[in-house]
Structure 1
Amino acid sequence: MGTVTIDIDGQSYEAETGSMIIEVADDAGLHIPRFCYHKKLSVAANCRMCLVDVTNLPKAVPACATPVADGMKILTRSEKALMAQKSVMEFLLINHPLDCPICDQGGECELQDVAMGYGNDISRFTEGKRVVKDKDIGPLIETDMTRCIHCTRCVRFGTEVVGLREMGATGRGEHMEIGTFVETSLSSEVAGNIIDLCPVGALTAKPSKFQARAWEMQSTTSIAPHDCLGTNIAVHHRRGQVIRVVPHENESINEVWISDRDRFSYQALSARNRLTTPMIKRDGQWQKVDWEQALQFTIEQLKLVKEHHGAEGIGALASPSSTTEELYLLQALMRGIDSHNIDHRLRQIDFSTQHDDPMFPKIDFSIADLDDMDATFLVAADLRNEQPIASLRLRKSTRYGRVMALAPFANHENFRVAPYIQAAASELVEHLHKITAALVAQQKGSVSASLTELFVDIKPDPDHETIANELRINERACIIVGQTALEHSLSGHIKWLCRTISRLSDSAYGELSHGANSAGAYLAGALPHRAAVGVESKVSGWTTQQMLQKGLPAYLLLNTEPELDSSYRESARKSLSQAEFIVSLTPFAGGEMMDYCSVLLPVAAFSETSGTFVNVEGNWQSFRAAVSAKGEARPAWKVLRVLGNLLDVAGFDFTSSEQVRDKLKQRLEATTDAHVGHLHNPEQLDFGGELPKPLNLYDTDSLVRRSACLQQTPIALQNWRREQILSLSQFDTGTLIPIKEVNHA
């Protein structure tokens, strides 16, 4: 695109052809008042607050909808512009209630700010103000639609960004109202973003209603503890209490959006069953003790188990959302006592190809590249349920590109996916065989004989041919392996097939892993077959599957409830209940852990500890604590450091989480024998396979399970995804624990 020269308030600026006046002004640091305009939404030009004076034009024009032209002279502070802006402001305030003293938006309200600069002290309007009846649109968003100024940001967000039009306008003139058409809760997993978009107090966060004023809160940037993208957030807190969580802009990851899971899971921090004091079970009764007693008892019991059963009688299971520092110290502790039984892959079933895995699960493209993909192939990837922000970004690619999918569930995405092959879990591998066979046939002569022989008798269908062809002919193409695929009982074969498809079609490959820090867990060495920085361990310990199905005398649990988090729920209940000793480093008590645990050590939860998450791009994102931990809880890395010291394990002399992180980074830079993964063709193709029972979006970890407002949403209550999996696992046939039982334990 070319450039033009324009003049704004007597200053000359270069601008791209087609840019709007307001965009050029923003880039130049010049403020033009606005309400309906937002850089991530389409231009509506319905508030008229951004009217400016353009030389040689008879009337003021909206800066958001007027493209620049060469030689254009614009005045934002002329008498004509100011008169137009003040007139618009007067009309907007006619029906707006004087709620500022009790409005949650007070202090950060765009209407307040603009009214101070462009409003009148006294209103000339003497008629009665209109009143709009509020609608209950769910447990997350509080409405006061009398305050609404009809900017339609919330409507455009749903239509353009999410692809789900839940909000809209009804009526005409002063009878116009913004609402949900019919009284119903918002069902989108990213609906909370309309709270940030609303320029007034019409849409506010219901869980934090009336809790604090904007100027009373401090803001600490952090990283969301749920998704592998590394969503950037800002934690707003006051007097040691988290009040709310909002997006922190990062164009390369989450832009200006966050999922409701990231926004509202903080409610769990004040759950009734927060663990604030160390506890020991004696004679079947739980007793509160001090840290010295709890740690001493833990050390004695671990030594006793090691003496009677050997070090391999002890196993450690960790949440993939634990920090890299915590995971590094946990594996160092376990290997320091000569046990290699450590794993974070709680949802994985197939470990047959774990030695061929790359250093960590990653994507071969940037997260921002999802916006512009020409062809994307989703393999059992339920993005809305697993990675909501990735779903928003991929939706943008459908403007010009194509999304295709193979999955054992119905299409939940809010954009066109074609072809969409819905197949039973036992048929996923067969469909991937056919797509691979199509590529092998399309590239005769350039494929190895061994690979050709594997697929010689497989005949693809038209949909398989289409997927193969689209991936091959498009320059920007990628294959995304989702969490459901990684949970499949033949996930190793699925990953090999997808990597083969990627290589044959010259398209990028990526895995969207579980939790917030699976990549960090791999690098930290929280694996039974690899130590830190990807170095193969001389001795391979037990995987999650082996530890929970075969059982061990002792377990060390970090931020996890295996009976709820893992794919082996019934096996976990049985093995944990039969163990001699279990110590859990957890922010919460209650539920089944009270039956099987021997010691509960309270550790800091999200926002209460410092640490680092590594996202699927391989970016290390560190964060610090926003508030202090509750009661006597301590950061998990500190608890692990003390346990290491008490067990006389070398290398546990860290005084900060930053030192742990730097130590791991130094080892990573110095290593020369890290495992980078290999692509070995199997001797024969596998068929069949099963899936474990899936987790709902708001059932993925201990935080979201204890967030009261999230558990009241339609997504949590309907459990729609659980009912649409076509083939459930045959390894676990037990029933799920109802959410309310966990919350109120």
Structure 2
Amino acid sequence: MSAQPVNPNLPPDHVTVFIDGVEMAAPKGSMIIHAADKAGIPIPRFCYHEKLPIAANCRMCLVDTEIGGRAAPKPSPACATPVMDGMKVFTRNEKALKAQRNVMEFLLINHPLDCPICDQGGECELQDLSLGYGRSVGRFVERKRVVPDEDLGPLVATEMTRCIQCTRCVRFTAEIAGTYELGGMQRGENLQIGTYDGQPLMTELSGNVIDVCPVGALTNKVYRFKARPWELIARPSLGYHDALGSNLFHHVRRGELLRSVPRDNEAVNECWLSDRDRYAHEGLLADDRAAVPLLRDGDGFREASWDEALDAAARILRESAGDDLGVLVHPATSNEEGALLARLADGLGSRHLDHRIGQLDLSDGAQAQAFAMPVAEIEQADAIVIVGSNLRHEVPLLHQRVRKAAKRGARVHVVNPVDFDFTFAVASKHIVPPAQLAAALDGVDLGDAGNVAVIVGGVAENGPHAAAIRKAAAAFAAAKNAKLCRIPQGANALGLARHGVLPAGLDAQAMLRQPRKAYVLYGIEPGLDFADQQAALKALGGARVVAFSQFACTSTRAVADVILPIGALPEIDATLTNLDGRDQQAVAAAKLPGQARPGWRVLRALGGALALPGFEFTDLDGLRAGMAPVAVQVAAGSAAPAAGNGLQVAASQAIYRVDAVVRRSHALQAHPLNAGPHASLNPADAAAAGLAQGAMAKFSTAAGTATLQVLLDARVAPGCVWLESGHGATAPLLAATTLEVARA
């Protein structure tokens, strides 16, 4: 072959390749399958996946190649054969088709005839390709092999007899999730894919093995046997359990939401989805869904019509307008609802409006801000500093981006009160009690890194030392020319801040410590969503409360006078703003339960009943047309309680207890990552208190006491206790700066 390029006008890093007679340019080092996909020329495949490392073990993508007029002696795998200048590729000639058909015949030797009962039926890659490349009659009469199934936990169902050993799931857990939980065992015809130790999948991204599996070996255990793909309608929506706002589809049949799957968006979640976003929809079917307006009747509630309930709510708000009214909003509330809540508070003369219900220290008037480095660019960073965050549980797919950066060679530095688990190597660790996090930043050495991201998470943002940590992180970022990325504390905290759901008066903590005569609660489960549960329940219990709620739960019934049932995000049209500042729209998917209504409709009706300005629109388009960012001057707010004697409190969100919907998903609650309420102590601190592994201990604060099981964990910094929020048992302790511990 001539040393001269076929096309001298191409860039030096490209070559000319001919695929089925079509001339095209392809980057040097890329594979034939990349060039063919770019040109829209189909090549069958099973093991190849654009996001996974190349394995070349299914051989379905065999093609015929010719270089310099000489044909290759045998077919080549398109996924693992680099393009060469002047190469000719034939994907549909007799040699290629014969090879592909032979591979398909071998794959089907042991595959069971399960299509009528297989959940993958109708969207199965093996079904699709066997139609085009399979024989109508099998030539093998030997008995098919049977592979025993493993229990991979409550999320992923297995039928491993169907497995074709493409190893996509193995490569996903190894390279993307970073947990290395699946692998191949034995050899030859005895090869099996499994966990070896028989343990459930522990990665927070385990549901993605369902998506990458090209057959029915790995399926959705919650969705199993419920529907066929052709019965479902796909509605574009968003994940609303963290601030990333993962793009997804809800699959619905006659108004019933049956499953959630990822929707590709390279700038946000790529093609992946966290288990929390995938399985949380199960919580929408909880027994305590609010499905009809309720009015307090003595010690209980009675059902009411919408007109009667709105009249009662309007009467409470009218009688408590002005300084006597506080409006508290869940940080996952949509922009449309947030804009109307801001209008409602303004129309009633209340300056006490806030969505920062989970944050203890608001003394610096902090509010959510967009990432200075877009999440898609974080994987290109040279160095990343993680401050006060159990990132893997807080925003799983942001953690995955950091893993990609670390695999590229980025140095990751951690400043935390607990040595949380990450799936990447850490260059330096500073594990110190919460009060020392701000000072510990000074010890981080970035070397000569030029592209640096500083990620500040929920352990820092929600803790009693948040203001000092935010100040130190901003100063560190400015001094190191780094990009500051503070994770918004709530799926739409940034959008609500932009649309004026912030106080010109008392902030969320001050509203509860200085009780108002009446409150509006929006989307909040009072018993678990507040940073200071004791102050919240005491203040709400002594006031008149109008609760807009998805759930008529015990804690809502304990404080509310009126319960107005509203839809959750999968049931309404809505806009959320993610941590990049990107506005994203969700479309209503599931049917609203009973008489529940979209929140914006209920707010419009209530605003109309109160004759307030700004509620004259008639539809969602009219509402959106009148929405615009609002600048609110937030003054310095509440500080956390002063530190006392004892152990410092380091609190993080339990991964599957972050909000009311997730807490009601049976599958997620059954997952081993949902460890239940407990307190983790450094072994030295436990020994000083006379506590052994598994012992019950009494933890005391000025706000209350709790009895919890003690777990000894050397990852916890000496001098502090690690608690997870979202549990009723730990709630009395989360607002404290320090606590005392003694044997129960």
Aligned to 2:315: 300
| 1:183 and 2:202 correspond | no
| 1:70 and 2:34 correspond | no
| 1:709 and 2:667 correspond | yes
Aligned to 1:415: 424
Q: Compare 334-343 and 112-121 and name the one that shifted more.
A: 334-343
| 1:36 and 2:50 correspond | no
Alignment partners' CA distance in 2, 1:590 and 1:389: 31
Measured after TM superposition, the shift of residue 544 of structure 1 is 1.3
Measured after TM superposition, the shift of residue 689 of structure 1 is 11
- Matching residue within 543, 549, 553 for 1:590: 553
Q: 1:337 to 1:52 in 2, by over 3 A?
A: same
Alignment partners' CA distance in 1, 2:726 and 2:541: 16
Measured after TM superposition, the shift of residue 690 of structure 1 is 5.7
| 1:606 and 2:606 correspond | no
What is the letter of the counterpart of residue 533 of structure 2?
R
User: Equivalent residue of 2:63, what SS?
Assistant: strand
Measured after TM superposition, the shift of residue 413 of structure 1 is 0.8
What is the letter of the counterpart of residue 471 of structure 2?
W
Q: 1:257 to 1:279 in 2, by over 3 A?
A: same
Measured after TM superposition, the shift of residue 676 of structure 1 is 11
Alignment partners' CA distance in 2, 1:4 and 1:676: 58
Q: 1:655 to 1:520 in 2, by over 3 A?
A: same
- The Cα RMSD (Å) is 2.4
Q: Compare 646-655 and 43-52 and name the one that shifted more.
A: 646-655
Is the 8 Å Cα contact of residues 329 and 522 (structure 2) preserved in structure 1?
Answer: yes
Same amino acid, percent of matched pairs? 40
- Matching residue within 155, 158, 162 for 1:140: 155
Aligned to 1:2: 13
Alignment partners' CA distance in 2, 1:558 and 1:239: 28
Measured after TM superposition, the shift of residue 365 of structure 1 is 1.1
What is the letter of the counterpart of residue 303 of structure 1?
R
| 1:483 and 2:458 correspond | yes
Is the 8 Å Cα contact of residues 334 and 340 (structure 1) preserved in structure 2?
Answer: yes
Q: How many pairs were matched up?
A: 676
Q: 1:407 to 1:732 in 2, by over 3 A?
A: farther
Aligned to 2:524: 560
- Matching residue within 489, 505, 513 for 1:549: 513
Measured after TM superposition, the shift of residue 411 of structure 1 is 2.6
Alignment partners' CA distance in 2, 1:512 and 1:14: 42
Counterparts in 2 of 1:231-630, with a 5 A limit?
Answer: 231-306=246-321, 311-354=322-365, 357=366, 360-399=368-407, 400-432=409-441, 435=442, 464=443, 467-470=444-447, 473-529=448-504, 541-579=505-543, 581-630=544-593
Q: 1:622 to 1:740 in 2, by over 3 A?
A: same
Q: 1:377 to 1:75 in 2, by over 3 A?
A: same
Alignment partners' CA distance in 1, 2:151 and 2:561: 45
Alignment partners' CA distance in 2, 1:718 and 1:655: 46
Is the 8 Å Cα contact of residues 695 and 722 (structure 1) preserved in structure 2?
Answer: no
Is the 8 Å Cα contact of residues 677 and 727 (structure 2) preserved in structure 1?
Answer: no
The structure with higher relative contact order (CA 8 Å, sep 6+) is 1
Residue-by-residue CA offset, 1:8-46 (whole Å, 9 max, x unaligned): 011111100011000111111111000000000000000
Is the 8 Å Cα contact of residues 528 and 727 (structure 2) preserved in structure 1?
Answer: no
Alignment partners' CA distance in 1, 2:55 and 2:703: 52
Q: 1:676 to 1:488 in 2, by over 3 A?
A: closer
Alignment partners' CA distance in 2, 1:420 and 1:259: 26
Counterparts in 2 of 1:82-93, with a 5 A limit?
Answer: 82-93=97-108
| 1:635 and 2:598 correspond | yes
What is the letter of the counterpart of residue 658 of structure 2?
T
Alignment partners' CA distance in 2, 1:622 and 1:631: 25
Is the 8 Å Cα contact of residues 459 and 651 (structure 2) preserved in structure 1?
Answer: no
Alignment partners' CA distance in 2, 1:496 and 1:191: 37
Alignment partners' CA distance in 1, 2:59 and 2:704: 60
User: Equivalent residue of 1:245, what SS?
Assistant: strand
Q: 1:198 to 1:721 in 2, by over 3 A?
A: farther
What is the letter of the counterpart of residue 423 of structure 1?
V
- Matching residue within 45, 51, 65 for 2:62: 51
Residue-by-residue CA offset, 1:672-717 (whole Å, 9 max, x unaligned): x776999xxxxxxxxx996564320111111100111100001113
Alignment partners' CA distance in 2, 1:49 and 1:96: 15
Alignment partners' CA distance in 1, 2:329 and 2:700: 23
Q: Compare 122-131 and 723-732 and name the one that shifted more.
A: 723-732
Q: Compare 609-618 and 64-73 and name the one that shifted more.
A: 609-618
User: Where do 5+ consecutive residues of structure 1 fail to align?
Assistant: 436-463, 530-540, 679-687
Q: 1:420 to 1:662 in 2, by over 3 A?
A: farther
What is the letter of the counterpart of residue 154 of structure 1?
C
- Structure (1/2) with the larger helix percentage: 1
Measured after TM superposition, the shift of residue 576 of structure 1 is 2.0
What is the letter of the counterpart of residue 476 of structure 2?
I
Aligned to 2:118: 103
Residue-by-residue CA offset, 1:258-282 (whole Å, 9 max, x unaligned): 1000000000111111111111111
Q: 1:394 to 1:380 in 2, by over 3 A?
A: same
- Structure (1/2) with the larger strand percentage: 2
User: Equivalent residue of 1:246, what SS?
Assistant: strand
| 1:696 and 2:654 correspond | yes
Alignment partners' CA distance in 2, 1:49 and 1:720: 50
Is the 8 Å Cα contact of residues 333 and 492 (structure 2) preserved in structure 1?
Answer: yes
Q: 1:585 to 1:675 in 2, by over 3 A?
A: closer
Q: 1:719 to 1:259 in 2, by over 3 A?
A: farther
Is the 8 Å Cα contact of residues 345 and 353 (structure 2) preserved in structure 1?
Answer: yes
User: Equivalent residue of 1:369, what SS?
Assistant: helix
Alignment partners' CA distance in 1, 2:657 and 2:196: 29
Q: Compare 589-598 and 269-278 and name the one that shifted more.
A: 589-598
Q: 1:675 to 1:339 in 2, by over 3 A?
A: closer
Counterparts in 2 of 1:211-222, with a 5 A limit?
Answer: 211-222=226-237
Residue-by-residue CA offset, 1:291-320 (whole Å, 9 max, x unaligned): 0111111112222334xxxx2221111111
